[in-house]
């Protein structure tokens, strides 16, 4: 339980510290291309696989693959989200995704 608290707290602090950089990169994406999707490396942990932080304006990341739009799939195909993943809400349109590839 103590480890969980420190791990969660550490992730929250890291996210808050790195969020301005995420916004800077995200704001470089063209909003005219539809809902923007950005994937940021987060690193692996103890052999449990890679993790990424995702900003998804459409929030389709939480849908089953069969329910995601063709446009979302096209935006994600050149990112780490081309792998199988599990996503969990983090803050607003930010998500943590655990990759299986």
Query: From CA 66, how far away is CA 1, in angstroms rounded?
Result: 36
Predicted local distance difference test score (pLDDT) of residue 5: 44
pLDDT digits (tens, 9 = 90+) for 72-85: 999 999 899 998 99
Domain that holds residue 69: 2-100
Query: From CA 21, how far away is CA 41, in angstroms rounded?
Result: 12
Stated pTM of the model: 0.84
- The count of structural domains within the chain is 1
Parallel, antiparallel or unpaired: strands 37-44 and 50-56: antiparallel
- Return left, alpha or beta for 64; rule: phi > 0 is left, psi -120 to 50 is alpha, else beta: beta
Paired residues of 44 in beta bridges: 50
Predicted local distance difference test score (pLDDT) of residue 87: 94
Which residues of the chain are under the pLDDT cut of 70? 1-8, 44-48
Please say whether the beta carbons of 62 and 80 come within 8 A.
no
């Amino acid at each position: 339980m103590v480890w969980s608290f420190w791990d969660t707290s550490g992730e929250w602090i890291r996210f808050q510290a790195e969020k301005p950089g995420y916004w800077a990169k995200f704001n470089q994406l063209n909003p005219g291309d539809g809902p923007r999707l950005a994937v940021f490396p987060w690193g692996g942990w103890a052999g449990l696989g890679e993790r990424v932080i995702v900003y998804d304006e459409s929030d389709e990341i939480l849908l089953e693959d069969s329910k995601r739009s063709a446009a979302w799939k096209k935006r994600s195909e050149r990112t780490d989200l081309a792998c199988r993943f599990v996503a969990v809400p983090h803050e607003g349109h930010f998500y943590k995704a655990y990759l299986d590839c």
